[in-house]
Each structure stands twice: as structure tokens, then as C-alpha cells.
């Protein structure tokens, strides 16, 4: 087991580093009492959400990476839909990134990312729902192997245009990053990275990033990238339709 350190008082221990468990591999034994384990995939934005949240809250966790193209047979015991991420803690398993991070906030309220005030918490959840509208059209566009891409591009553009004015401060959370910022970042990050990919032209993604049309989102993305708990976990290697 190897530790990956990148932020104060927090480290991730990788189960069999540089390996993704696949069909035929044995399921790791349960983590010790009180310990956290994340079943994930290195390039999964939803796994990244949880890891950034853990980093922000300075919670130590073991990461078990899964090969999603050749899944181990036991993954269904962890996640009924054989997806990632999943959190294992004290004999219990939780799935879905948005549920996992809220569980962590409730478990460690002293470092809660969500506001303590019930109304403000609800406002952040509503804001997340509104800002996450571009997620589905983005991934649908990127998964489409042949054109035409126009209709998918237009839907993504429309959603981004609606998200842009929701940034009324430096972050969606105000003057400091909050719930919406940490959950939306891994999704927007894929758009920003793909827009610089040699094949981005066929998707016309370059028109959907940059200060000319999306100044608020562009500056927000730059600010998020500079956060230690984000920069250490950023998605940096990309292959379209590998």
C-alpha cells in the first residue's frame, strides 16, 4: 500500500497502487473500524468529487481503483449498479457522490462544507441542481462517436449560458468555495480539458470556454484550480473515445 500525500494532515492510501481491480481479482478485506475506503476510478469525475471533498475536510481514506471496462464480480455487492464511487465505512456502504459528501458533512459537522443554517443549506442544494444542468449534455456529446453534433452542442451551450450569471461572487458559495463549487468543478474541468484537445474542433468545444463568452465561469475555474485540495486531484490526462 502506498500513500499519496498532497495536502496538510491528509493522505490517501492506494490499495495496490497503479492497479485497477478487474474481473478475477479478489475483493479487498473490509477496512479497519473507523477507516474510510473509496471504490473509484482515477478518471471518473464523480470519484474526483468525493476525493476533493475528503481533501477539503482532511479525512484520510483508502482508495480502491476499479477497472470499469472489466469489472470485478464482487463490485455488485458494493454498488448494485456496478458503478463508482462508493464509500465503505464501519461495515456500511454508501453510493452516489452527492450522497457520500453530505454524509461526510453530517459525520464531521465541524468541517461541514454545507452551511449550518438549514435555509442556506437548502439554497446551496438548489444552486447545485441548477448549475449541474450542463452535466448530461456535456457527457452525451463527448460519448457520441460520430456526428452530427450540432443539436447536442446547442443544448450544452444553452445550459452553460444559464449557469454563467449564477456566479454572483468569486465562487458559487460566495467569497469562498462551497458545496456547489466542489461538486461542479470535476464536470466543468472535463469541458475545459477537452476544449484544448486536438479533436475538440469536431465538437466545437472551444466556443464554450474562455473569457469572451463565459468570463465568470472562466475566472471561477482558474480560482478553483489554484486551491490545494483541488489542484492535487485534478484530471490531467485525457483520451477521447479510447
Q: Give the CATH number, domain containing residue 56.
A: 3.40.30.10
Is 191 part of any domain? yes
Say whether both 104 and 81 belong to one domain. yes
With respect to residue 12, please indicate whether it lies within any of the assigned structural domains: no
Listed residue (170, 225, 213) closest to 205, CA to CA: 213
Distance (Å, whole) CA 126 – CA 133: 12
In a shared domain, residues 124 and 84: no
Which of 83, 111, 139 is where one domain is finished?
111
Q: What local confidence, expressed as pLDDT, does residue 167 receive?
A: 96
Does some domain include residue 214? yes
Do 55 and 152 lie in a common domain? no
State the 10-residue block means of pLDDT for the chain, 242 residues long.
Answer: 37 61 95 95 94 94 95 97 97 98 98 96 97 95 85 95 96 96 97 87 89 96 95 63 36
155 and 203 co-located in one domain? yes
Domain co-membership, 143 together with 225: yes
> Within this chain, do residues 130 and 90 fall inside the same structural domain, yes or no?
no
Instruction: Clarify whether residues 137 and 214 are in a common domain.
Output: yes
Residues 127 and 228 in one domain: yes
Cis peptide before 148 (omega within 30 of 0): yes
Domain interval for residue 125: 118-232
Task: Quote the pLDDT of residue 174.
Answer: 93
140 and 213 part of one domain: yes
**Residue at 23 is within a domain:** no
What per-residue confidence (pLDDT) applies to 200?
Answer: 78
A 10 A CB-CB count for 217 gives 24
| Number of domains comprising the chain | 2
> In terms of DSSP bridges, do strands 86-89 and 36-40 run parallel, antiparallel, or are they unpaired?
antiparallel
What is the separation of C-alpha 45 from the centre of its chain, rounded to a whole number of angstroms?
4
Tell me, what CATH number does 224's domain have? 1.20.1050.10
Q: Does residue 225 sit in the same domain as residue 163? A: yes
Question: What is d(CA 104, CA 53) in angstroms, rounded to the nearest whole number?
Answer: 8
Do 107 and 179 lie in one domain? The reply is: no
Query: Could you give the CA distance from residue 82 to residue 26 in angstroms, rounded to a whole number?
Result: 16
Domain-ending residue, one of 90, 111, 132: 111
pLDDT at 53: 96
- pLDDT for res 10: 47
Residues labelled catalytic: 44
User: Do 225 and 122 share a structural domain?
Assistant: yes
Q: Cα separations (Å) of 123 from 136, 151, 173, 180, 231?
A: 22, 31, 10, 10, 27
The residue out of 89, 111, 133 marking a domain boundary is 111
Rounded to whole angstroms, the Cα distance separating 100 from 44 reads 15
pLDDT of 9 reads: 40
Amino acid at each position: 500500500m502506498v500513500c499519496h500525500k498532497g495536502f496538510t494532515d491528509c493522505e490517501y492510501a492506494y490499495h495496490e497502487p497503479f492497479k485497477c481491480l478487474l474481473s478475477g481479482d479478489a475483493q479487498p478485506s473490509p477496512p479497519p473500524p473507523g477507516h474510510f475506503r473509496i471504490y473509484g476510478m482515477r478518471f471518473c469525475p464523480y470519484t474526483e468529487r468525493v476525493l476533493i471533498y475528503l481533501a477539503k475536510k482532511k479525512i484520510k481514506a483508502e482508495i480502491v481503483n476499479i477497472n470499469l471496462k472489466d469489472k470485478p464480480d464482487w463490485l455488485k455487492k458494493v454498488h448494485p449498479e456496478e458503478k463508482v464511487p462508493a464509500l465503505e465505512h464501519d461495515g456500511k456502504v454508501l453510493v452516489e457522490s452527492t450522497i457520500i459528501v453530505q454524509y461526510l458533512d453530517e459525520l464531521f459537522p465541524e468541517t461541514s462544507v454545507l452551511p449550518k443554517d438549514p435555509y442556506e443549506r437548502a439554497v446551496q442544494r438548489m444552486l447545485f441542481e441548477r448549475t449541474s444542468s450542463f452535466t448530461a449534455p456535456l457527457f452525451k456529446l463527448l460519448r457520441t462517436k460520430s456526428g452530427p453534433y450540432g443539436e447536442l452542442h446547442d443544448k450544452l451551450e444553452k445550459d452553460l449560458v444559464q449557469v454563467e450569471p449564477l456566479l454572483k461572487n468569486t465562487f458559487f458559495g460566495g467569497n469562498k468555495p462551497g458545496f456547489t463549487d466542489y461538486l461542479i468543478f470535476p464536470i466543468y474541468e472535463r469541458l475545459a480539458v477537452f476544449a484544448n484537445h486536438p479533436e475538440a474542433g469536431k465538437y466545437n468545444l472551444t466556443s464554450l470556454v474562455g473569457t469572451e463568452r463565459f468570463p465568470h465561469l472562466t475566472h471561477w475555474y482558474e480560482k478553483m484550480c489554484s486551491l490545494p485540495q483541488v489542484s492535487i486531484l485534478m484530471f490531467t490526462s485525457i483520451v477521447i473515445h479510447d
